[in-house]
Amino acid sequence: MTEYVSKTKFLKIILPPLLAVGLFVATVFGYLLPNHKASLVDQQKNMLNQLVNTAWTMLAVAEKEVEIGIVSQQDAQKNVLEHLRGMRYGENNLDYFWINDLQPNMIMHPYRPDLEGKDVSDFRDLDGKSLFKEFAEVAKKEGEGFVSYQWQWKNDPTRTEPKLSFVKIFRPWGWVIGTGIYLNDVNLKIAQLSRKLMLISGAIIFLVSLLTCYMTLESLRASRKRLKAEAELKDHQDQLEHLVEERTAELSQEITERKKLETELQRITITDELTGLYNRRGFFELAQKQLQVASRKNNDLFLLYLDLDNMKQINDKFGHEMGDRALVETAEILKRVFRESDIISRLGGDEFVALLLEVPDEENEQTVITRLQGQLQTANSKAARPYQLYLSTGVGHYKHKKPCSLEEILSAADNQMYEQKKMKAKDLSS
Q: What is the mean pLDDT of the chain?
A: 86
Pick the closest to residue 326 from 316, 340, 338 (CA basis): 316
pLDDT at 364: 78
Give the span between the Cα atoms of 143 and 139, in whole angstroms: 4
pLDDT at 3: 47
Looking at the chain, the whole-number percentage of residues with pLDDT higher than 70 is 85
pLDDT at 193: 73
The residue-averaged pLDDT of 338-356 equals 94
pLDDT at 236: 79
Burial 1-21, CB ≥16 within 10 A → b, else e:
eeeeeeeeeeeebbebbeebb
Domain annotation for the chain: domains and CATH numbers: 1-269 (3.30.450.20), 280-429 (3.30.70.270)
3-state secondary structure of 347: strand
Looking at the chain, the whole-number percentage of residues with pLDDT higher than 90 is 61
Pairing state of beta strands 343-348 and 351-357?
antiparallel
Summarised one tens digit per residue, pLDDT across range 194-252 is 778 777 767 777 776 677 677 666 656 766 777 677 778 788 788 878 877 777 677 66
Summarised one tens digit per residue, pLDDT across range 46-79 is 999 999 999 999 999 999 999 999 999 999 999 9
Position 5 pLDDT exceeds 50: no
Question: pLDDT band at residue 2, thresholds of 50, 70 and 90?
Answer: very low
Position 1 pLDDT exceeds 70: no
The residue-averaged pLDDT of 173-190 equals 87
Contact 104, 176 (CB under 8 A): yes
Position 96 pLDDT exceeds 60: yes
Give the span between the Cα atoms of 240 and 248, in whole angstroms: 12
pLDDT at 226: 74
3-state secondary structure 61-99: HHHHHHHCCCCCHHHHHHHHHHHHHHCCECHHHCECCEE
Report the predicted TM-score, pTM, of the whole model to 2 decimal places. Answer: 0.42
Position 390 pLDDT exceeds 70: yes
Give the span between the Cα atoms of 140 and 365, in whole angstroms: 52
The residue-averaged pLDDT of 277-292 equals 96
Position 189 pLDDT exceeds 80: no
- Whether the ω angle into residue 104 lies within 30 degrees of 0, i.e. cis, is yes
> What DSSP state is assigned to residue 387?
S
Helix (H) or strand (E) holding 247, with range, is helix 223-269
User: Percentage helix, strand, coil, to 5, in the chain?
Assistant: 60, 20, 20
Handedness of CA 63, 68, 74, 79 (dihedral sign): negative
3-state secondary structure of 309: coil
Amino acid at position 32, single letter: L
Q: What is the residue-wise DSSP string for 140-204? A: HHHSEEEEEEEEEETTEEEEEEEEEEEEEEETTTTEEEEEEEEHHHHHHHHHHHHHHHHHHHHHH
Taking the CA atoms of the chain, what radius of gyration do you get in angstroms? Answer: 33
Task: Count CB-CB contacts under 10 A for residue 313.
Answer: 11
| Range name among 87-91, 140-144, 177-181, 370-374 with the lowest pLDDT average | 87-91
Residues 6+ apart with CB under 8 A from 315: 322, 323
Amino acid at position 22, single letter: G
Burial 29-59, CB ≥16 within 10 A → b, else e:
eeeeeeebbeebeebbeebbeebbebbbebb
Cα–Cα distances in angstroms (integers) from residue 78 to residues 71, 85, 108, 178, 279, in the given order: 11, 10, 10, 17, 18
The residue-averaged pLDDT of 153-162 equals 90
User: Strand 301-308's sheet: what is its strand order?
Assistant: 343-348, 351-357, 301-308, 391-398
Position 165 pLDDT exceeds 80: yes
Give the span between the Cα atoms of 340 and 359, in whole angstroms: 15
Give the span between the Cα atoms of 38 and 185, in whole angstroms: 14
